[in-house]
Amino acid sequence: MTTKLMAFAKNICNLKKHCKTEEATKHSFVLPFFQLLGYNIFDPEEIIPEVDCDIRQCGDKVDYSIAINGEQKIIVECKHWNKNLNNYEAQLRSYFVATSARIAILTNGIEYRFYADTEKPNLMDETPFYVLDIENLTEQSLDTLNLFEKQNFSEQKILAMATELKIIDNLRDVVFKELSTPSIELVNYFAKCIYGQSPSKSFREQIRPLLKKVIDEYCSKPLETIQASKPETETQAMLSRVRNILSDVVSPERIQLDVGKQYASIRLDGDVWYPILKCKLTDSTKWIVICQHNTETDHIYGRISDRRYISSVDSVKDFSEDIISITKKIIQIKQ
């Protein structure tokens, strides 16, 4: 899927000028996208067009319903490629409640917004749990799309991911707010740690700017890019371990590290399409994914669902044979 999806994404820009209607967007952008995910767009029992969602008796129909094994799983509402999707979320929400699907997609063929009902059953969440920009594909977006491939589709896994991503977003907002402007509760907490009791109002007002100063000094970088020092050090250590494992296979400088928001990737030549290993190393969780070769599509992939939990960075040595094997395969493909 990866190679074909990448080629399709690159061609989107050339197709825009020819897609002057919503129907043209559906046929040139949206349906080919789902075809790349393994769905039979010519089977009206799998990709079902114009599905009734007529609770209000206004003739409402959602553009497509995707069925797997005869069960409605996803509804898809499409707009022209130059439309702002913010204007159509309410429309999709009204359709969602009239179906049995728990996943909905709102798209203009370039931006794909994925929704679920993680907060209240059969009511679409206010915000999408994932947004894909087809013109700016990343390694992480390809990982997410793997869950939506027909052959891999699992409603349970997708809903679990949706819940996790929404919790992460909420936590990120709370942490950012607390670090930017410490709340009374946070001030009280640190005061109790120091003095063993809650401070008076006047003392609390004295502590608050000092706490903010300490936070800024500790972070020493913009809040949006904060990463704890220990995970960053362990990630660098992982890079060193992998380079040592591959010392007889490839020169160390070709093994490069890219640290993302959710996990880090170790790649050959830093190429996004040739990951060797993915990892997440924090105090609470440590895991790795050894990437694999898809013989049918000839691309390299690593699904986060295949992660292997480890006790320490040194545990990666137990997977040396797999790491060497996939690196040799990548070198062979690149030749």
* Residue 323 within a domain: yes
Out of 192, 207, 225, a domain closes at: 225
Question: Is there a single domain that holds both residue 191 and residue 204?
Answer: yes
Question: Is there a single domain that holds both residue 9 and residue 125?
Answer: yes
Residue 26 maps to which CATH number?
A: 3.90.1570.30
* Residue 195 within a domain: yes
Q: Which residues pair with 127 in a beta bridge?
A: none
Q: What is the mean pLDDT of residues 239-256?
A: 91
pLDDT for res 48: 94
Question: Is there a single domain that holds both residue 216 and residue 234?
Answer: no
* Residue 200 within a domain: yes
Question: Is there a single domain that holds both residue 92 and residue 135?
Answer: yes
Question: Is there a single domain that holds both residue 34 and residue 130?
Answer: yes
Question: Is there a single domain that holds both residue 63 and residue 94?
Answer: yes
pLDDT for res 73: 95
pLDDT for res 233: 66
Cα–Cα dist 258/271, whole Å? 10
Question: Is there a single domain that holds both residue 130 and residue 9?
Answer: yes
Q: Are 22 and 31 in contact (CB under 8 A)?
A: no
Question: Is there a single domain that holds both residue 203 and residue 255?
Answer: no
Structure tokens at 169: 């977003």
Structure tokens at 318: 């137990």
Q: What is the mean pLDDT of residues 164-177?
A: 83
Q: What is the mean pLDDT of residues 230-254?
A: 83
For 131, the domain range is 2-152
* Total count of domains within the chain: 3
| Type of residue at 247 | S
Q: Residue 227 — very low, low, confident or very high, per pLDDT cuts 50/70/90?
A: very low
Percentage of the chain modeled with pLDDT above 90: 45
Out of 152, 177, 204, a domain closes at: 152
* 54: pLDDT strictly greater than 90: no
Question: Is there a single domain that holds both residue 95 and residue 148?
Answer: yes
pLDDT for res 167: 87
Long-range Cβ contacts of 281-288 (<8 Å, 24+ apart): 281/231, 281/234, 281/235, 281/238, 281/313, 282/228, 282/230, 282/231, 283/228, 283/230, 283/231, 285/309, 286/234, 286/310, 286/311, 286/312, 286/313, 288/238, 288/316, 288/319
Out of 191, 209, 225, a domain closes at: 225
* Residue 157 within a domain: no
Instruction: Express each pLDDT in 67-126 by its tens digit.
Output: 999 999 999 999 999 998 988 999 999 999 999 999 999 999 999 999 999 989 889 999
Largest pairwise CA distance in the chain = 71
Average pLDDT, the chain: 86
Question: Is there a single domain that holds both residue 143 and residue 211?
Answer: no
| Secondary structure (DSSP) of 101-140 | -SEEEEESSSEEEEEE-SSBTTB--SS-SEEEETTS--HH
* 69-83, 141-155, 191-205: the lowest-pLDDT one: 191-205
Structure tokens at 92: 């999709």
Range ranked top by mean pLDDT from 132-146, 155-169, 316-330: 316-330
